[in-house]
A and B are shown apart, each in its own frame.
Chain A
Amino acid sequence: MDFYLGLIQIIGVHTLLGLSAYCVLHTGQVSLAQAGFFAVGAYVAGMLTVLAHWPIVPALLVAGVVAGSLACAVGFPALRVKGLMLVVATAAFGEAVRLFFFNFNYQLERGGFHIGPHGGEGFRQIRYFPEYGWSTLEVAAFIWVVVVLTMAALWWMDRSRAGAVLRAVGEDEVAAQSSGINVTVVKVSAMTVGGVIAGIGGGIFAHYTTHIEHIQFGIVLATFAVAYPILGGLSNVFGTLIAVIFIQGFLIEGLRFMGDWRNLLFGGLIVLAMNVRPRGLIDAGTITLVKRLVFRSKERASA
């Protein structure tokens, strides 16, 4: 049972990570910096609960704000580059964040123990959940409350004018500018919102694993972050969720018996998805199709 609860937790956290990239991807920016924002959120939230004894919710909120501000600051220079160059620039930023935490030492002495981030050895003993007696089920429920709230907010944003504006910028920047859209503001805002979501996700990650270190926030995690929304499609938030369930639940856990061959499968899958379904598993066409089917069955029922 605990195995499945653990899996549900992982899926929840990765969904947050995927949604942070989803937001940025709407504006046509492929960002490999999301793992960096995730790391910042993880360390900030961990330090707040462990060193400053904050409760979890405010710690997560501050983690989101810090990661979001950083994302906003990164958003401006990132605007100058596009496409592949943006991928390289954001990947470099993510690595810089990782290396920062590799060297980051901030330990306090508490009751004969040294606690806090300790460079390459990582940040151990983020024991907020066990200390306050949260069961695995409660932790999983907490994670999913956050995930559902985030998904609901993004779902709503997708349907608002802001969502349409993000997509418009992603489709054609020149046309968007010429329609009176301030592309700079839109792109930086998307980056900031993505940073906030990644920060909160990272904060949760730190608390359920209880031990974080720099190597967890490398380029692999950054690739996963963008792979989810690319695979799931940008038409709605459920695409990302389904992609996470598919990759984490089936590819990583379900095919565990294949060992390291899974990585090969993962790479192949992305190439396949980009060729067969360039707009993701669930694209606007799929939505129209589903709507039509539902509509038709209703018509039949009423006839």
Chain B
Amino acid sequence: MLELQGLTKHFGGVRAVEKVDLSVAQGEILGLIGPNGSGKSTIVNLICGLFPLTDGRVLLHGTDISDLPPHARVTLGIARTFQNIRLFGQLTVWQNLWVAQNSGEQFGQENFLRRWLGGSRRARGEIDRTLEFFDLAHKSDELAANLAFGEQRRLEFARALAAKPSLVLLDEPAAGMNAEEIDQLDRRIRMLRDDGVTILLIEHHVELVMSVADRIAVLNFGQKIAEGAPADVQANPLVREAYLGTATAA
């Protein structure tokens, strides 16, 4: 459904992302891994349209979306979370999802007023169910800034789902989580996949990626160095080299 063709981004002289081709199939979980600074988050930002491409194209269902502004891409079904949590801290948990409900489907595209004034009963019900799914329902009137770290991560994930996306980009969702929370995350990602949501998972936590991803792509210095099933990628010497450094002759 999502296809990156020759995706390139230079920041001044830094080649953050260099000619990356990558495609995500409908309904799969694609893991994207790589050492720090290998360009993973930049790729997410490029898919979301937060900054312009130096070169290449982003296609969604075969249509070029490279020039669309970020909010328009969300309405087309691409939602994301942030590596460093970016919630609306002074809004309540419930409101965080409320403002993110931007797909026409939830309000009826034609109903401008309803969309801005609060939404239909169905839209409200969806928020309650999403919060339920992330075990945040009891916190719905709490300010987002007052949540514990793990809850904030869950809320970010929940907010991304509020827009009813068909593709979710998770940027290091397990960072700073304990083992139990990672287990829950693993379970939720699978449940979403079973619901038909496609997921691009960027993660440092190798165990989680290996367990949950259908396919894995590996980046190093802005280039894709490997792609394939988790076991194959794990065995790939280039990947080992990227993570552990070049073996020097003793």
The reply to whether A179 and B100 contact each other, CB–CB distance below 8 Å, is yes
Chain B residues near A21: list those with CB within 8 A: none
Q: Is B61 positioned at the interface, with any CB of A under 8 Å from its CB?
A: no
Chain B residues near A179: list those with CB within 8 A: 74, 79, 99-100, 102, 159-160, 162-163
A241 to B86, CA, bound (A): 32
Among A1-9, A69-77, A134-142, A156-164, the one that faces the other chain is: A156-164
The reply to whether A168 and B117 contact each other, CB–CB distance below 8 Å, is no
Chain A residues near B91: list those with CB within 8 A: 164, 167-168, 171
Q: Is A178 positioned at the interface, with any CB of B under 8 Å from its CB?
A: yes
Interface positions of A (Cβ within 8 A of B): 160-162, 164-165, 167-168, 171-172, 174-183, 279, 284, 288
Q: Is B42 positioned at the interface, with any CB of A under 8 Å from its CB?
A: no
User: How many pairs, one residue from A and one from B, have CB atoms within 8 Å of each other in the complex?
Assistant: 84
Distance between A287 CB and nearest chain B CB, rounded to angstroms: 10
The reply to whether A164 and B90 contact each other, CB–CB distance below 8 Å, is no
Nearest CB to that of B159 among chain A residues?
A: A179
A129 to B143, CA, bound (A): 48
The reply to whether A161 and B98 contact each other, CB–CB distance below 8 Å, is yes
Contact of A181 among B71, B119, B143 (CB under 8 A): B71
Known: A177-B71, A178-B80, A180-B75. A171 touches B102 (CB 8 A): no
Interface positions of B (Cβ within 8 A of A): 48, 50, 69-72, 74-75, 79-80, 82, 86-91, 95-96, 98-100, 102-103, 115-119, 143, 159-160, 162-163
The reply to whether B86 and A174 contact each other, CB–CB distance below 8 Å, is yes
The reply to whether B117 and A181 contact each other, CB–CB distance below 8 Å, is no
Additional pairs, 16, CB under 8 Å, beyond known A168-B91, A178-B70: A164-B99, A167-B88, A167-B90, A168-B95, A171-B88, A175-B86, A175-B88, A176-B88, A177-B71, A178-B48, A178-B74, A178-B79, A178-B82, A179-B159, A180-B79, A180-B100
Nearest CB to that of A181 among chain B residues?
A: B71
Distance between A261 CB and nearest chain B CB, rounded to angstroms: 36
A124 to B50, CA, bound (A): 53
Closest 6 CB pairs of A and B: A180-B102, A180-B74, A179-B100, A175-B86, A177-B70, A168-B99
Nearest CB to that of A185 among chain B residues?
A: B71
Would you list 17 pairs from A and B whose C-beta atoms are within 8 A, ordered by A residue?
Answer: A160-B117, A161-B119, A164-B99, A167-B88, A168-B99, A174-B50, A175-B87, A175-B88, A176-B88, A178-B79, A179-B74, A179-B102, A179-B159, A179-B160, A179-B163, A183-B71, A284-B143
Contact of B86 among A160, A164, A165, A172 (CB under 8 A): A172
Chain B residues near A183: list those with CB within 8 A: 71
Contact of B163 among A160, A172, A180 (CB under 8 A): A180
A171 to B162, CA, bound (A): 19
The reply to whether A182 and B71 contact each other, CB–CB distance below 8 Å, is yes
The reply to whether B95 and A164 contact each other, CB–CB distance below 8 Å, is yes
A180 to B102, CA, bound (A): 6
A160 to B159, CA, bound (A): 18
Distance between A241 CB and nearest chain B CB, rounded to angstroms: 20
Chain B residues near A165: list those with CB within 8 A: 99, 116
The reply to whether B90 and A181 contact each other, CB–CB distance below 8 Å, is no
Chain B residues near A182: list those with CB within 8 A: 69, 71-72
The reply to whether B102 and A181 contact each other, CB–CB distance below 8 Å, is yes
A172 to B50, CA, bound (A): 13
The reply to whether B90 and A284 contact each other, CB–CB distance below 8 Å, is yes
Nearest CB to that of B94 among chain A residues?
A: A164
Nearest CB to that of B165 among chain A residues?
A: A180
A93 to B116, CA, bound (A): 30
Distance between B175 CB and nearest chain A CB, rounded to angstroms: 17
